[in-house]
Amino acid sequence: MKALVYGGPGKKSWEEKPRPTLQHPADAIVRISRTTICGTDLHILKGDVPEVTPGRILGHEGVGVVEETGAQVGNFKKGDHVLISCITSCAQCEYCKKGMYSHCLNGGWILGHLIDGTQAEYVRIPYADNSLYRIPEGMDEEALVMLSDILPTGFECGVLNGQIKPGDTVAIVGAGPVGLAALLTALFFTPAEIIMIDLDANRLEVSKKFGATRTLNSSTENVVEKIMQLTGNKGVDTAIEAVGVPATFELCQSIIAAGGRIANIGVHGKSAELHLETLWSRNITITTRLVDTVTTPMLLRTVASKKLNPSLLITHRFKLPEIIRAYDVFAQAGKEKTLKVILINE
């Protein structure tokens, strides 16, 4: 089969690899029908994730059709259409039993990281019973690729941890796919205001179409001043950090209201300052989380009932063998106006 193979920092190629085979009775082999590229894949290619070793097939998102199952797999059989979770979970360890699949002692984020991933014609999924989700008949499978990672990430790490309630004022810093996924799922709770903050005018424009009540461009506006004006000097009830740099985490601290929640989503490579000298008395909560994907069944139902439309995030489509070009378009998100790209395995 063909696959996108990491060759060390800055190196990737679309090359021939052996088709995966069952290695454990709980495994399934899935033929990929649609996959995508994540910002995390770009981090890997920069060399920011050293556990990923040369020769690894990248990718942790996708949908496909079950090709083969091990003897212990009870929920799926050959021919089933499935959504692949970016998080592999055994359902049996201490963390899985707490619903913290991201910290599964036998899985977690391993796809396209510690084991071969989904940017290929076939992928091996360990603990298939708990790491795959059945796609109901007649659903738009392409849109469901957004449920492998970014929708549960925005929802669990941003919206749920941020405890958004009806009537709240919410700020989301970062209008990339993850920030926009937080925006789409924040709407479940009907906050009064959703303020999107980014440097990219196009992404802010998209945010308005998705339901943001206001947008602020931090390259041209004084965001803290504007938010204080908008909130009668109180600040926001929930600030979601969806960028992953010190400046945006510090911005969240400057705009949070007394009693508010800062929900961090961003993957941080550097330490950020924590302003306890001002925050100690403000009754605030700061949360962090690696996506667990425990809300995937709920998100699938909301997509099925058309309460959530994740296909809004798809801006480009390529055939799977054009993946190198797709990476370029994804990496040049500003110029190409890219959110998520879909790769089609015909």
Ligand X SMILES: NC(=O)c1ccc[n+]([C@@H]2O[C@H](COP(=O)([O-])OP(=O)(O)OC[C@H]3O[C@@H](n4cnc5c(N)ncnc54)[C@H](O)[C@@H]3O)[C@@H](O)[C@H]2O)c1
Please report, as ranges, the residues that interact with ligand X according to CB under 6 A. Answer: 39-40, 149, 153, 157, 173-179, 197-200, 203, 218, 242-245, 247-248, 265-267, 289-291, 333
Q: Stretches 149-157, 187-195, 255-263, 324-332: which one binds Zn ion (CB under 5 A)? A: 149-157
Least distance to ligand X from the beta carbon of 167, Å? 25
- Measured CA to CA in angstroms, residue 138 lies from 30, 141, 273, 309 at distances of 19, 8, 49, 15
By CB under 5 A, tell whether 40 contacts Zn ion. Answer: yes
Length of the chain (residues):
346
Least distance between ligand X and beta carbon 219 (Å):
8
Q: Is 145 in the site for Zn ion (CB under 5 A)?
A: no
15 or 205: CB nearest ligand X: 205
Measured CA to CA, the distance from residue 222 to residue 303 in angstroms comes to 37
Cite the DSSP H helix spans in the chain.
39-46, 94-97, 128-131, 141-144, 150-152, 177-186, 201-210, 223-230, 246-255, 276-279, 296-304, 323-331, 333-336
Residue nearest to ligand X (CB): 176
* Helices and strands, counts by H and E, the chain: 13, 15
Q: Using the rule CB under 5 A, is 42 a contact of Zn ion?
A: no
Q: CB under 8 Å to 268, separation ≥6 — which residues? A: 244, 245, 246, 249
Closest alpha carbon to 113 in 47, 60, 64, 34: 60
For position 90 contacting Zn ion by CB under 5 A, the verdict is yes
Q: Is 267 in the site for Zn ion (CB under 5 A)?
A: no
Nearer to ligand X, 132 or 204 (CB): 204
Choose among 114, 112, 152, 108: nearest CA to 130.
Answer: 108
Q: How far is the CB of 22 from ligand X (least distance, A)?
A: 29
Closest distance to ligand X from the beta carbon of 19 (Å): 28
Picked from Zn ion, ligand X, none, the partner binding residue 192 (CB below 5 to 8 A depending on kind) is: none
User: In the complex, what is the shortest distance from the CB of residue 145 to Zn ion, in angstroms, rounded to a whole number?
Assistant: 11
Q: Which does 96 bind (CB under 5 to 8 A by kind): Zn ion, ligand X, none?
A: Zn ion
What is the β-pairing status of strands 256-264 and 236-241? parallel
Q: Is 93 in the site for Zn ion (CB under 5 A)?
A: yes
CA-CA distances (angstroms) from residue 5 to 122, 283, 339?
Answer: 13, 47, 23
| Residue ranges that bind Zn ion, judged by CB under 5 A | 38, 40, 90, 93, 96, 104, 149
